[in-house]
Amino acid sequence: MSERLSRSVIEPVNPKLNVSRNANLPHSPGIRVGDYIFLSGMGPVDPVIGGRNLGPIAEQIRQTLRNMAHMLESAGSSLDRVIKMTVVLADSADYDKMNQVWREFFPTDPPARTTCALQLSNGNGVEIECIALAGESPS
Amino acid sequence: MRDVIPAPVPSLDLRREYGHHQSPAIRAGGLIFCSGMVAIDAQNGERQHGTVTSEARRIFENLKLLLESAGSSLDRIVQVHAMIYDRIEYDVLNRAYRQYVPNAPPARTVMSVQIEAGFNVMLDVIAAAETRQAANMAHPKQVIEPRKPNGDVSRRSDLPLSPAIRAGDFVFLSGMAAIDPATGEPAHGTVAAETRQILTNMGELLEASGSSLAKVVKVGVLIYSMLEYENMNLAYREFFPIDPPARTVCGAGLIGGHKVEIECVVLV
């Protein structure tokens, strides 16, 4: 059975977390294609004020993962449906702290993951993107 | 089905022109995985170094040819890793970029990395094919475990990541560094030695999931310095003798003192 593969934009319910729209950037928060969701790289944005939340690195990572959960739930998916994550740290010395936070969010069957250290802008300590399975409900 | 998408014109085949051991793109499971694209002259294959703007434009023109030759198009792009040599040119990239994806642009992560041959821009793209066979969702999400737990750093060190996850038509592997499967210790060595160790371990992990290196669709290689590109490429080609996967290679800071890290997506 062959099907026409649908492609649709995913946006967060909370408009403060719609960074690409608010800053007029040329990317979508996420794209659903068929059964998969691809999210753009996300940073530690405060969901109340919409600005950056540049606290300690562990808190930046928690904030980013909470925002990612919100983005996925806005599309009928969830963090436990994440398959693959790519993590960019500004400082590779934060790797152990990242793993501690990861255990809080992914106690069982964590996603596949690749981590590297790259230059980030605006003082962000972390940026995270993911591929997830879409929810059960058809789009 | 794992189909190699040939270059739309021979000059855009980096394997032919520069010996990069990769296919221009691979179509599998309804998606088209493109190799990392840099500014190549479609007429004669020459590298056209320029500004962020001129390189981005040339890449998008070539990408348009590639995707349309495979029955897709720029407006079917799903995800882009937009690599630039320095984040200071982020807004310059955006200005050129938005002209090619004006409506419902793809998901994107901008990464500041070292790019092959001194280029300023490289685009790593996944696009939706026009149609696909109905996906096999009998295994909506399943963790793949290695046969030798000692040889997998995530299990041995109790890291909060899975070696691989199967979801639908694909298995997504975590980035792998060189580990001695007998001891589980890091196998630090030359770039060629680390590449061989990683791909050997990767082949065993894939066989544990009922797959193999021959079914790899897309490979991402992180290397500590692009000056060692050829050392990686020469070892890499031993493992993919025919129809190599689409591939993106970039220079980045790696964790744990490794020189190479490799991830991949595989068709089940």
Q: pLDDT averaged over chain B?
A: 93
Question: What 3-state class would DSSP assign to A21?
Answer: helix
Q: Which two tokens stand for residue B55?
A: 């390189």
> Is residue B21 domain-resident?
yes
**Which of B108, B158, B254 to probe by mutation at the A interface, max A CB count within 10 Å?**
B108
Tell me which residue in B79, B131, B173 faces A5 most closely, judged by beta carbons: B131
Contact of B260 with B226, CB cutoff 8 Å: no
What pLDDT shows up at residue B135? 67
When mean pLDDT is compared across A40-54, A122-136, B86-100, B139-153, the lowest value belongs to: B139-153
> How many domains are contained in chain B?
2
Residue B24 sits in the same domain as residue B110: yes
Q: Whole-angstrom Cα distance, residue A88 to residue A121?
A: 12
The complex scores an ipTM of 0.93
Let me know if residue B194 belongs to a domain.
Answer: yes
Residue B135 within a domain: no
Which residues in chain B are closer than 8 Å to A113, comparing Cβ atoms?
Answer: 161-162, 174-175
Instruction: Determine contact, residues A71/A79, Cβ cutoff 8 Å.
Output: no
pLDDT confidence tier of residue A138, bands split at 50, 70 and 90: very low
Q: What is the DSSP letter of B135?
A: P
Q: Hey, which residues does B133 pair with through a beta bridge?
A: A2
CATH number, domain of B44, equals 3.30.1330.40
Count of pairs with CB atoms under 8 A, one residue in A, one in B: 159
For residues A81-107, one letter each, b for 16 or more C-beta atoms within 10 angstroms of the residue's C-beta and e for the rest, the string is: bbbbbbbbbbebebeebbbebbeebbe
Asked if the structure places residue B88 within a domain, the reply is yes
Can you give the residue range of the structural domain that contains B78? 2-128
Helix (H, G, I), strand (E, B) or coil at B21: coil
CA B43 from centroid of its chain's CA atoms: 25
Do both B167 and B100 map to the same domain?
no
Please state, in angstroms and rounded to a whole number, the distance separating the CA atoms of residues B169 and A20.
30
Element housing B45 (H / E): none
- Do B84 and B157 belong to one domain? no
pTM for this prediction: 0.94
Residue B196 has pLDDT above 60, yes or no: yes
Residues B199 and B254 in one domain: yes
Please return the burial class of A69, using the count of CB atoms within 10 Å of its CB with bins 0-12, 13-18 and 19+.
Answer: middle
Q: For A25-56, give one letter per residue: b (16+ CB within 10 A) or e.
A: bbbbbbbbbbbbbbbbbbbbbeeeeeebbbee
Residue B133 lies in a domain: no
Q: Are B133 and A103 an interchain contact pair (Cβ–Cβ within 8 Å)? A: no
Q: Domain A7-133: give its CATH superfamily.
A: RutC-like (3.30.1330.40)
In the predicted structure, residue B139 carries a pLDDT above the cut 90: no
Residues B185 and B107 both lie in one domain: no
> Are the beta carbons of B87 and B112 closer than 8 angstroms?
yes
Among partner residues A3, A88, A131, which is closest to B131 by beta-carbon distance?
A: A3
CA B97 to each of CA A38, A127, B103, B119, B161: distance values in angstroms, whole numbers, following the listed order: 19, 20, 12, 16, 33
Among A21-35, B112-126, B144-158, the minimum mean pLDDT is found in B144-158
Residues B174 and B124 in one domain: no
Chain A neighbours among B 233-252 (CB < 8 Å)?
252
Domain boundary pick from B128, B151, B185: B128
Query: Residue B134: inside a domain, yes or no?
Result: no
* Angle, helix A57-74 to helix A95-105, in steps of 10 degrees: 40
